[in-house]
Homo-oligomer: A and B are copies of this chain.
Amino acid sequence: MSSSVLVVGAGLIGTSIGLALRGDRDVLLQDPSQEHLSTAQARGAGRPWTGEQVGLVIVAAPPARVASLVGEHQRSQDRAFFTHVASIQSRVQHDIEAAGCDQTSLCGGHPLAGRETAGPAAAAADLFEGRPWVLCPTASTREEALAAVQALVTSCGANGVVMTAEDHDRAVALVSHLPQVAASAVAARLVGSPDAVAVSGPGLQDTTRIAASDPALWTDILVGNARFVGPLVRDLAADLARLSGALAQVTDQATGEMAAGRAGIADLLRRGQSGRGLVPVKRGDHDSDFTRVAVSVPDAPGQLAGVFVCAADAGVNIEDVRVEHLPGRPTGVLELLVHLTEREALQQALTAAGFAVIRTA
List residues of A whose CB falls within 8 A of some B CB.
112, 115-117, 122, 124-127, 129-132, 134, 157, 159, 161, 163, 167-168, 170-172, 174-176, 178-191, 193-201, 203-213, 215-216, 218-219, 222-223, 226-227, 229-241, 243-244, 247-248, 250-251, 261-262, 265-266, 268-284, 287, 296, 299-302, 304-305, 307-309, 311-312, 315-323, 325-331, 356, 358-359, 361
Interface SS, A side: helix
Contact B247 A226 (CB under 8 A): yes
CB distance from A199 to the nearest CB of B (A): 5
Given contacts A174-B193, A190-B175, A219-B262, contact A112 B201 (CB under 8 A): yes
A207 to B311, CA, bound (A): 28
Complex: how many Å from CA A219 to CA B260?
A: 12
Decide yes or no: A301 and B275 within 8 Å by CB, A229-B247, A327-B130 being known contacts: no
Q: Are B179's CB and A186's CB within 8 A?
A: yes
CA distance A167 to B184 in the complex (A): 24
Q: Which residues of B contact A129 (CB under 8 A)?
A: 296, 326, 329, 331
Q: Are A273 and B182 in contact (CB under 8 A)?
A: no
Q: Which residues of B contact A203 (CB under 8 A)?
A: 176, 179-180, 183, 209-210
